Structure 1
């Protein structure tokens, strides 16, 4: 996706293809130019500053996208001006991106406040990185609709479990990893455009991280000889098609699942595919199309998340 400060389309060809197939391309072209900014408005700046956690998407040394989560006492993110967000990062044990951030890294950020069902996106580029965190230059800032966000109160506790441990996860999901995916009502997905983070990248190329939600068990797991394949119904949304449009151009994705009761985090990497067959989608109530992800590798962090979640719905 590109910013609105040019005469170019605010969407790349992958997003445009899906918008065209859905019959909304002309409408979204106009809406995108109005809603996608090259800076953060003041309400978005204040929103990030009040959050106890943020979702991030980035690339490892092999250009594999991963989604991860950072947390801290509200104020661990600060926006000194509309074009920058400074983050004091505390990497979780096992975070596959912990050693990957440097100046020039493409980054996607999703601020989400579950109890108000509010979420804002900010995609940009790391301009400074050191042991205490880094600064991000804003490239794209826009809000998202509150659909499929399960209301929960979240607070930072300051420390992971004293029994925190990290273990590798293979292509075949088993045990705790399989239970987390099969029971989930929420996960996050990182995707990228082909030239994300490269010098001279197109204005539409970058890394994105987005939210996926549904009823508990909405992620369906099938076992194959090569590994687990996840099928996720794609429900009607905002028609931006950031994630699915990226996958049409570059299929590698990173998934993040969290067990909010145990403080466990599951990082998964795989290859995504957009299934546009209406008959296949018809097997899943409410699905407009399907996202399939073939798992390749991952990490399970047990008790690593220093957040407390009220799992009861907030009225």
Structure 2
């Protein structure tokens, strides 16, 4: 599939390869990918709600809760919880982006497709399956999975001071995007603590570093500015979901002022959901990514 947004970004970034991004991605799930999915206690997802706002979230379970029964199907034995911004949305099918990431080994793979609820599970028909390089993944070890006794949500249209502080010390985020006729996508971004900056409660920015030159996130944003971000409190249990509209800033002088930056992504925030108890893994920090600039 030729993705016009990806091609436009690749050309602007100086990438001249004949087939990059969506153009070289297959729909089938390799056996090694199926094995990797079955080992994971968490998978990050991204989709649009009924108001067309895009959100990024995560589903959790004991290893084996995500399986690939055939080469075009992923089954997730979990659904978004009651306070999750994606809760209740999969009674009818919709585009879904997913990323399975294992910070301890710095491995990740992305799966995009069409998802629908069947009973108490989510069933995904795959359209794109591909692995990514390990750049910018901070090494963390999962030490436990817990079921919160209860969850609580704080919602708003802008960030609170405490939420801004969580983002300001983050070294990891997940971003979901979509574009008409191109499906949804979920991706990872990492960097040194503080690589995401907050301007008041309505705007945040982060540098786009040199990755694998597929530009699937920026390609979607070229066609559709909607996005959903997910931040975690790795030392607690908070999950912070942010939705809004993003644009890519190609200003050379701005990028040159920040080590490693090639360009910036600026997000105008339109909605926030903080779920206390929404981050269900216990983590042990091991080391920062060697790809982190600075």
TM-score, normalised by the number of residues in structure 2: 0.93
Structure 1: runs of 5 or more not aligned: 3-8, 196-200
C-alpha spacing 1:189/1:139, structure 2 compared with 1 (3 Å): same
RMSD: 1.8
**2: CA distance between counterparts of 1:16 and 1:34?**
10
Which structure has greater strand proportion?
2
**1: CA distance between counterparts of 2:21 and 2:224?**
22
- Given the alignment of the two structures, is residue 14 of structure 1 paired with residue 5 of structure 2, yes or no? yes
Shift of 1:58: 0.6
Shift of 1:164: 3.3
Q: Would you say the 8 A contact 1:52–1:155 is kept in 2? A: no
- Given the alignment of the two structures, is residue 184 of structure 1 paired with residue 170 of structure 2, yes or no? yes
Q: Would you say the 8 A contact 1:72–1:156 is kept in 2? A: no
**2: CA distance between counterparts of 1:314 and 1:213?**
10
Q: After alignment, is 301-310 or 178-187 more displaced? A: 301-310
Alignment counterpart, residue 211 of structure 2, candidates 220, 234, 237: 237
Task: Give the equivalent residue in structure 2 for 1:148.
Answer: 136
Q: After alignment, is 305-314 or 283-292 more displaced? A: 305-314
**2: CA distance between counterparts of 1:258 and 1:288?**
25
Q: Would you say the 8 A contact 1:167–1:301 is kept in 2? A: yes
Q: Would you say the 8 A contact 1:255–1:267 is kept in 2? A: yes
Q: What secondary structure is seen at the aligned counterpart in 2 of 1:312?
A: strand
- Given the alignment of the two structures, is residue 211 of structure 1 paired with residue 188 of structure 2, yes or no? yes
User: Which residues in structure 2 correspond to 1:120-131 (within 5 Å)?
Assistant: 120-126=109-115, 128-131=116-119
Task: Give the equivalent residue in structure 1 for 2:73.
Answer: 84
**2: CA distance between counterparts of 1:266 and 1:314?**
22
TM-score, normalised by the number of residues in structure 1: 0.87
**2: CA distance between counterparts of 1:179 and 1:32?**
34
Task: Give the equivalent residue in structure 2 for 1:55.
Answer: 44
Q: After alignment, is 230-239 or 29-38 more displaced? A: 29-38
- Given the alignment of the two structures, is residue 284 of structure 1 paired with residue 235 of structure 2, yes or no? no
- Given the alignment of the two structures, is residue 41 of structure 1 paired with residue 8 of structure 2, yes or no? no
Shift of 1:150: 0.2
**1: CA distance between counterparts of 2:216 and 2:197?**
22
Q: What secondary structure is seen at the aligned counterpart in 1 of 2:279?
A: coil
Q: Number of paired residues?
A: 289
Shift of 1:24: 1.3
**2: CA distance between counterparts of 1:174 and 1:135?**
35
- Given the alignment of the two structures, is residue 221 of structure 1 paired with residue 210 of structure 2, yes or no? no
